[in-house]
Amino acid sequence: METKTIFTDTHTHLYSEEFNEDRNEMIQRAIDSGVSRFFIPAIDSSFTASMYDLEKAYPENIFLMMGLHPTHVKDNYQAELQHVREELAKRKFYAIGEIGIDLFWDKTHLKEQQDAFRIQIQLAKEYQLPIVIHCRDAFDEIFEILEEEKSDDLFGIFHCFTGTHEQALQAISYNMKLGIGGVVTFKNGKIDQFLHEIDLQYIVLETDSPYLAPVPYRGKRNESSYVLKIAAKLAEIYGVSIDEIADKTTENSKSIFGI
């Protein structure tokens, strides 16, 4: 019997209000196209209930992370981190994420973002979980903390990787895989120029839906079935079949998330 190709979307915000009109149809579309594993990052406590609802609806397909997103690190971040701690103590999660530093929108909470990132890395070590890193205009700040915290028990995914070849190698040196999404299909995305030099064992697929839709959907709502467009571009870059991209990247996702 032929085994069906399995694609994994390692980063998708399926609870986003952008999917309120057709969430189940959108998820079914992805499953029908072979994307049957969805890893759901947390943003803050206001999304926790809807994440649990999704998991309940698709227990075979949906795997949850817990964490505080850097753009949601505000003056009340300690209370939000307490929520993260309480949820982690209650049940199983597959990663601490998405966590990190974002200086694109607002630099006023940099110190709090750094603090929240450090605390959540320590939680990941305590629970022996991977971290899923959000980095925007903050490679130096992220690498500084990873350098401080680096150890055999620190590992995870550098989500939505958009850096240089040198930054890719640096991320990998901290036991990170690179989350490759729609940006790889953009004419000005640049990562397509050096990815072939990065071994496929360090690559996982993601959409970050509803954001960052790949070509030809750029600028429109992204969805998990579009993982196939990203896989097709990677197949072209690496000179292998889409099935091989699916197999290798799903295998990589299992080595990170343990499922």
Percent of the chain with pLDDT over 70: 99
Mean local confidence (pLDDT), 76-100: 98
Q: Where are the beta strands (DSSP E) in 137-227?
A: 156-158, 176-180, 203-205
**Strand 156-158 relative to strand 131-136, pairing:** parallel
Which of 13-17, 77-81, 102-106, 170-174 bottoms out in mean pLDDT, i.e. has the lowest? 102-106
**Strand 62-64 relative to strand 35-40, pairing:** parallel
Round to whole Å and give the CA distance between 34 and 31.
5
Q: Which residue has the tokens 């057709």?
A: 22
Q: What is the DSSP letter of 213?
A: P
Total residues found in the chain within this entry: 259
pLDDT in tens, 147-183: 999 999 999 999 999 999 999 999 999 999 999 999 9
pLDDT of residue 105: 85
Give the global pTM: 0.97
Which of 2-11, 159-168, 199-208, 221-230 bottoms out in mean pLDDT, i.e. has the lowest? 2-11
